[in-house]
Amino acid sequence: MGLRVAARQDLPRIVEIYNAAIPTRQSTADTEMVTTEARLEWFEKHQPERRPLLVYEEETGIVAWLSFEDFYGRPAYQHTAELSIYITPEHQGRSVGKILLQAAEEMAPRLAVHTLVGYVFAHNTPSMRLLQAFGYQEWGRMPDVATMDGKEYSLCIMGKRLVSRSGIEQSTPTDR
């Protein structure tokens, strides 16, 4: 049990966890359920040695996933990765997010990632608190850029520099 690289047979469960987030309007700007087939190209873009897609398993099976993705798709951003974390509703608030975020930060040096960013809806208080507890800062806010169900939502760009400009890793709190 624990964290492992996702296998193709995990994709239906990954999609199921993602789809559970759509109706909440908390974690994704998708407004309609996605299919496994529609996520196949996204899945195949993840490379374990560079931009992995990981699943977190407990006794009951996969309960969460974590992905690293290229930020903005330009070569100069090669040391920055966008991080996404999705957790089943019944496992939210049980420290799974902390486990995944800590694992992502520990994994980052092996992936040559110096900076992690996350795009979080401003009203997603649990995710905002989690990132802030790990030292992420709001680097930008895009006011009212998403419209879902007739309401507008703001998007926060949360970021953390993991390696200082001199190449020395920055310290992170250990008392999470």
Ordered domains of the chain (ranges, CATH): 2-114 (3.40.630.30)
Lowest pLDDT segment from 29-38, 127-136, 166-175:
166-175
pLDDT tens digit string along 3-28?
A: 999 999 999 999 999 999 999 999 99
Q: What is the pLDDT of residue 176?
A: 47
What is the pTM for the complete model shown? Answer: 0.90
Q: What is the pLDDT of residue 163?
A: 83
Whether the CB-CB separation of 27 and 21 falls below 8 Å is answered with yes
